[in-house]
Amino acid sequence: SELIQIKTENLPPSGNEKLGQEYLYNKIIRFIPEKDIDIFEVDDVKGIRENPLFFPTSDGVERIYKGRPNLVAKLKGARDGKSLVFSGHMDTMPASGEKWNVFEDPFSGKIKDKKMYGRGSMDMKAGTLSGFFALKCLRDLNIKLNGDVFAESLIDEENGGVNGTIAARLRNPDIDFAILAEPTNLVVGIETIGGSDWKVSIKEKGAGGFGFGLEMPNPLYKLSKIAIALEKYNKVLKNIKPPISYKNSQFLRVLTFQLCAGGSNYMESGSVPTEGHIFFWIETFAHMKEEDVR
C-alpha cells in the first residue's frame, strides 16, 4: 500500500520512478547486501544508444532518462548453474483527469473488501514486489541455489517505453530465464505477446456542414465499418494459440480505443465532419509474421 501512494507515473518524455525505486531500495537493503544491489540509469550502459534495439521515442519526442534509475538485486548461486530473473517495472500510466469509482485519490492505496485500490496496484507494483519477496523467501529459507537469481524494478515500460528493459538485459546479458509478473488474470503466458497502436484517418472531399438537399460524404460511416471489422478480427485472434497451448492459455486481442470526428459543442456536432480517426491496438505472438495480421 505504501508503494501505491508514491506517484511513479510515466510522463513522456520523462518519468518520476525515482521515489519508488528509493523506497524499494530501503526495503531490500535489509536482506540483500549492498554489493548485490545495482542501481543504474539507461545511459550508464555503454553503447546502449547504438544498440539496434534502442527505441528513442514512440511519439516523436525523445525520451529523457536522467534521474530515472533501474534497480536490480541478486542472490548469488553456489555454482555456475542456470540463472533466473524476476522482472517488473516501477512506472505506471498517468492518472490525471481520470474518475475513480471507489476512492477520489487514485494513489490512496486503500484496501476495501480485501482488495487494494490505486494506480499501479495491478500494473505492476504488486508483481514487481513479488519478485523481490521471492528473493527474501529464498534467503530466509537458506535455499542453496545452483545459479544466480535476480529481481529487477525497471523504468519506462509504459507509453511505449522499452529502454529500461534493454538497459537491464545489456547490463546482465547472460541471464537464462525470466518470469514477468504482469497482470494476466492469473493466466500463465509462455510466449511474449507484443502489440502496436494504430491510427487510421479518413478525410473526405468538400467542406462538410449541414448541406440541405445535398449528399454529404461522411467519414464516420467508413470508420464504423473499420470498427466492425476489428470486432470480427478480435474473434479470429482468440483462435490463434501459442506454440504450446494448454487450458486457459493466453489469447490475443484487438482493443479499439477511440472513434472520433467532428466537435463536442452544439455548432460543431450539428455538422457532418470532413475528417475522422479511429485508434486501436492489435496484439501478436512472437512467432507471428506481418502477413499473419494482414
CATH number for position 71: 3.40.630.10
> Do residues 36 and 138 touch, judged by C-beta distance below 8 A?
no
Domain count within the chain: 2
Domain boundary among the residues 180, 203, 235 is at 180
- pTM equals 0.82
Are 153 and 81 in a shared domain? yes
Q: Which pLDDT belongs to residue 142?
A: 95
Q: Which pLDDT belongs to residue 291?
A: 82
> Do residues 35 and 156 touch, judged by C-beta distance below 8 A?
no
pLDDT digits (tens, 9 = 90+) for 113-144: 999 989 999 999 999 999 999 999 999 999 99
Give the residue, 73 or 194, on which the prediction is more confident. 73
| Residue 185 included in any domain | no
| Residue 5 included in any domain | no
| Residue 127 included in any domain | yes
Are 197 and 170 in a shared domain? no
- 99: confidence class by pLDDT, cuts 50, 70, 90: low
Q: Give me the phi and psi of 147, to 5 degrees please.
A: -135, 170
Are 216 and 137 in a shared domain? no
**C-alpha cell read off for 117:** 485500490
| Residue 247 included in any domain | yes
Burial of 251 (0-12, 13-18, 19+ CB in 10 A): middle
Q: Which run of H or E residues covers position 194?
A: strand 193-203
Q: Which pLDDT belongs to residue 265?
A: 56
Domain residues for the domain of 76 are 10-180
Q: What percent of the chain has pLDDT over 90?
A: 64
Are 18 and 148 in a shared domain? yes
| Residue 152 included in any domain | yes
- 100: confidence class by pLDDT, cuts 50, 70, 90: low
CATH number at residue 271: 3.30.70.360
| Residue 4 included in any domain | no
Q: Give me the phi and psi of 139, to 5 degrees please.
A: -70, -45
Are 166 and 247 in a shared domain? no
Are 223 and 279 in a shared domain? yes
Are 234 and 102 in a shared domain? no
